[in-house]
Amino acid sequence: MKKIRLGHSDLYVTPICLGTMTFGEQVDEPTAHAILNRSFERGVDFIDTAEMYAVPTRKETFGATETIIGNWFAKHPGMRAKTVLATKVAGPSRGMDWVRQGSGMTAEDIVASCENSLRRLQTDVIDLYQIHWPERHVPAFGNLYYDPCKETSRTPIREQLEALAKLVEAGKVRAIGLSNETPYGVHEFVRLAEEHRLPRVATVQNVYNLLNRTVENGLDETMHRLGVSLLAYSPLGYGLLTGKYDAGGSTGPGAPAGARITLYESVRKQRWGRPGSLAAARRYNQLAREHGMTPTKFALAFCNSKWQVASTILGVTSVAQLDESIDSWGATLSPEVLAEIDQLRLEMHDPAF
């Protein structure tokens, strides 16, 4: 696969990234290691994880995903040097008091989280270290609007950048990124980095798929003009865009027993379990079939066709799913098909915002 440069950094990655948030919850360690092995066999050497994984989050599985990946590195000497490894520091608690206490995310929190991730991953350096969600109160994870009355920010962006700078200067982090960010946040991180000679963000990892194209509501222009790359997560909409829910609702007849939305009530209550998300997914999946493509191939071809996307993060629970996704990669959609998709978006908007 042709490598893609991330932002202004010296990181070059494949257009597919292996997402790992299921490792330690739906995926046991032997299966996770088999998926990692297969990923490298297929040429995908870009791995994304986070300190708070596995998902859905529980105290018992906090840090499990990084630990599983670290054990894989230990079993395969030399593979760490061949890997572009990304992980994330969790933002303010969001009810996960096992990650950190309180509502903030201090400079000390960032440094401590990085040290813990390095230990679990059994590595000396993280290639891309990302802030998982803003320290500010922002519209994300199903919240549509910004409400200044809910603002609880305590750590200025400059202070966060200075903490990240210390990690870069110490050789523990190569490049930095953001996740679940807004245009304002990206602008501020870049402006302050340039003004104070601090590390410049290379990436933003945001949800981007047929059911949620909010990246295109202004964030894409910000990233393009500032030279920041998009890492698109949930390209298959938590499985809705694979077609596996088309025969029934997330819990009704036809719903697959082992799928995330079926298994976890917490997921069903989020944006992916909304009736509008399910209904829109069925429309896009039908459009895929009308054009002679599987829903999975169609959804991935959409990401592959869009100039906004640098690398697409694929989350899987089996080697077979990984092979299906990689086999589906490389297809693109014609301008005419993209126009049909745009018409559906005008009708159904972004139901999984």
The reported pLDDT for the residue numbered 103 is 66
Q: Any idea which of 74-83, 208-217, 257-266, 332-341 has the lowest mean pLDDT?
A: 257-266
Residue 75 Cα distances to 31, 122, 241, 316, angstroms: 14, 11, 35, 21
The reported pLDDT for the residue numbered 30 is 98
Q: How confident is the model at residue 253 (pLDDT cuts 50, 70, 90)?
A: very low
Q: What is the mean pLDDT of residues 132-158?
A: 91
The reported pLDDT for the residue numbered 93 is 77
Residue 227 Cα distances to 103, 162, 177, 187, 220, angstroms: 31, 21, 12, 11, 10
Secondary structure of residue 104 in the 3-state scheme: coil
Q: What is the mean pLDDT of residues 286-296?
A: 98
Measure the CA–CA gap between 33 and 317, rounded to whole angstroms: 11
The reported pLDDT for the residue numbered 249 is 59
Pair 55, 21: CB distance under 8 Å: yes
Boundaries of every domain in the chain:
4-242+299-333
Q: How confident is the model at residue 214 (pLDDT cuts 50, 70, 90)?
A: very high
- Through-space distance between the first and last CA atoms of the chain, rounded to whole angstroms: 31
Q: How confident is the model at residue 248 (pLDDT cuts 50, 70, 90)?
A: low
Q: Residue 310: which of 211, 202, 181, 167 has the closest Cα?
A: 202
Contacts of 208 (CB under 8 A, 6+ apart): 215, 230, 232, 233, 234, 235, 303, 306, 308, 309
Higher pLDDT, 92 or 157: 157
pLDDT of residue 269 exceeding 90: no
Q: Cα angle vertex 83, ends 1, 260, to 5°?
A: 85
Q: What is the mean pLDDT of residues 306-335?
A: 96
pLDDT of residue 251 exceeding 70: no
Q: How confident is the model at residue 254 (pLDDT cuts 50, 70, 90)?
A: low
Q: Any idea which of 198-207, 243-252, 269-278 has the lowest mean pLDDT?
A: 243-252
As given in the structure block, the two tokens for residue 202 are 């290379």
Q: How confident is the model at residue 174 (pLDDT cuts 50, 70, 90)?
A: very high
pLDDT of residue 292 exceeding 70: yes
The residues assigned a catalytic role are 53
Pair 93, 101: CB distance under 8 Å: yes
Average pLDDT score over the chain: 94
The reported pLDDT for the residue numbered 185 is 98
Q: Any idea which of 5-19, 100-114, 337-351 has the lowest mean pLDDT?
A: 100-114
* Residues 74-124: tens digit of each pLDDT: 999 999 999 999 999 999 877 888 888 766 799 999 999 999 999 999 999
Q: How confident is the model at residue 200 (pLDDT cuts 50, 70, 90)?
A: very high
* Residues 125-135: tens digit of each pLDDT: 999 999 999 99
The reported pLDDT for the residue numbered 222 is 98
The reported pLDDT for the residue numbered 144 is 87
Higher pLDDT, 299 or 263: 299
* Residues 48-76: tens digit of each pLDDT: 999 999 999 999 999 999 999 999 999 99
In CATH, 4-242+299-333 is 3.30.1460.30: no
* Cα radius of gyration rounded to whole Å, the chain: 19
